[in-house]
Every structure is written in C-alpha cells, then in structure tokens.
Amino acid sequence: MIDIQNITKVYKTKNGELTAVNDVNLSINKGEIFGIIGYSGAGKSTMIRLLNGLEKPTTGSVIVNGQDIAKASGNELRSARQKISMIFQHFNLLWSRTVEENIAFPLEIAGVPKAKRAQRVEELIELVGLKGRGKAYPSQLSGGQKQRVGIARALANNPEVLLCDEATSALDPETTESILQLLLDINKQIGLTIVLITHEMHVIRKICNRVAVMEAGKVVEQGDVLRVFQHPQAPITKNFVSKAAGETQETQASLEQILTNYPSGKIVKLTFAGATTEQPVISQIIKQFDVVINIVHGKISTTTGGSLGTLFVHIDGDKQQIQQALQFLKQHEIQMEVIEHD
C-alpha cells in the first residue's frame, strides 16, 4: 500500500543544512494502522508531509498504491492527494461554517452535486457519532466533537489513506480514548489504512498494528506493537515503553525502597505477553519451590496484538530455590529482569 524507499529530506537554513529525515525505509500494509512515534525534532512531522506530497524528498521515493507521490505534480498530485486525507492536532475547522458545511467542504471543491453532498454528509455524521449536531458551529462543540468533525471531513472523498498528525494531543484522556476507539472502528468497518503520528506510546498501544520509532531523523526500531512492547531494543523505545507501562519515577522510588527493606532475595520484573498473561505461574512457583513471593506492583494492558502484563515481585528463600524459580520463569517464555540498586 505505502512503500517508503530511502527517503531523506534536507532543509537549507541560514545555519547550514538540516537533515530532518535520514534514509528512512518503511512498508505499510493496506488496511493496517501504522504508528510513527518520536519526540519533538525526531522527524515524524516531516515524514507525514512527505507522505501527502506537501514536501518533496531530497532523495528517495514515496509509493502509495503504485504511484510515486514524490514525483507527482500538478493535476496528478492533486488527484493523488484526494486519496490521502489528514486530521490535525488543532482540528483546523472552518469556524464560520456549521458541522455539515465543514464536512461538505472537500466535496464542494471536488465538484460533487449538492444532493449527493447532503447524502454523504449525513452518512458521515452518523459514522462519527454526531447525529443531531449538524447545524452546530465549531465554537459550540467540545474538543472531542471537533475532532470527530475533522475525521468526518477527512473521510468525505473516500480516501485510501488517513494521516493523523498528533490527532489526540490536545484532548483529555477520556476523550482521547473515545477518538482512538472511533479510528479503530472506522479501520475495521471500511478497511481504511491509517498512519498515526504521535509522541505518546499509549496511543500506539491502543490501536496500532505496527510501529516505527524515530529519533534524530532515523527509524531506530520498528515491528509489531506487541513485540516492540515486549522486547524494546533501542534506548528511546525502552523509555517510551516504560512510560506507557506506568513505570513512573514514583514506581522507581518505590522499588528502591523495596530493595532497601528486603536485602535478601530478589526483586524481579516479569513481562507477560499474549497467552502467557493467562498462565498461573506465580501459584505454580509457590507450589513447586520453597520460596515466598510478594507482589510489589502489577499492571495489565491491551494491544491490538494481545494482552501485555508487567509484574514486580519479591522472591525470597533459599538461594538455590530462588534460582530454580527464576529458571522456571525462563522456561515458560516470560521475560524477566532482576532489579538491582542503581
């Protein structure tokens, strides 16, 4: 569906050249939700502008459904952009137009007859959950409702790809969840390919099938979301994953206190993924080995690829029994990390 080949984007500034995207290769499948995550300055916003043709790469190609967007121009580029829609962090609605008129705007530009426009607008209002709000103006809507209008407008011309540029960053957590669920529902209903740009790993965890992690213009890691959460490789990915898993500074401070209070035994971080989250390993260890286990902290979250659980436990007892218990965990394909003092 989307094939990004050796993309590099270099800007010329008064201080010299700035490489915003550096030799990136990505392949995005038709109908999947693909996340691109990175902090400010990572190059993800430039990537999204390269995807919709607002920027031309210095080198490389952006193939969307067999067409190289990087080489398209004029009518060819305008036609290609009609199949690549976008929603934004700050909604970008027309404040003097009603909900219906905002959604109808791209249809007007495309020359769709009035009767067909009205029918399509009605369908989209129903799809995004805004029935009864068609005559309202943006100033009369909540943040979540504004983003729903933005999504409806982006879908007006039946695009093949929807680009989401930090689409939930301006929303509160509860509204963020509802918008992400809407995007997930739309993806399932119409098979729309979604490329989601964000700096929040919980957004990736919630709805994405695969993810690419960007840092300093490069993709430093990519893969299935569940695999990346279970086995993060790059330091920046480990940082994103730990924050999404709720491992805050308070958690680390609590672990340090636990290590102080329990000088014997081991504090172990266990990570469960997929089917392993349903295994009763703690009770099995207690039955099979002469050890005492205290659960310090735990959390289970879900990804599109399955459940992901993190559990911190204190294991105490005979050293040999503890080692046998740890070996038991390894044999059951549970990722394990013994926590030591910093």
Predicted pLDDT of residue 170: 85
Q: Quick one: DSSP state of residue 91?
A: -
Confirm or reject CATH 3.90.1640.10 for domain 2-244, answering yes or no: no
Digits of tens for pLDDT over the chain (342 positions)? 899 999 999 999 998 999 999 999 999 999 999 999 999 999 999 999 999 888 999 999 999 888 888 888 888 888 888 889 999 888 899 999 999 999 999 999 989 999 999 999 999 999 999 999 999 999 999 999 999 999 999 999 999 999 999 999 889 999 999 999 999 999 999 999 999 999 998 899 899 999 999 999 999 999 999 888 878 899 999 888 877 766 555 456 566 666 677 677 888 888 777 665 667 888 888 889 999 988 877 777 777 777 777 788 889 888 899 999 988 888 876 778 888 655
Contact between 77 and 69 (Cβ < 8 Å): yes
Backbone angles phi, psi at 333, to 5 degrees: 60, 40
Predicted pLDDT of residue 308: 74
Nearest-Å Rg of the Cα atoms of the chain is 24
Predicted pLDDT of residue 28: 96
Predicted pLDDT of residue 249: 53
* Residue spans of beta strands (DSSP E) within the chain: 2-13, 16-28, 33-37, 59-64, 67-68, 84-88, 161-165, 193-198, 210-215, 218-224, 266-273, 291-303, 306-317, 335-339
Predicted pLDDT of residue 245: 65
Predicted pLDDT of residue 258: 67
Predicted pLDDT of residue 301: 72
Q: In angstroms, how far apart are the furthest CA atoms of the chain?
A: 79
Domain 249-339 homologous superfamily, CATH:
ACT domain (3.30.70.260)
- Where do the CATH 3.30.70.260 domains begin and end in the chain? 249-339
- Where do the CATH 3.40.50.300 domains begin and end in the chain? 2-244
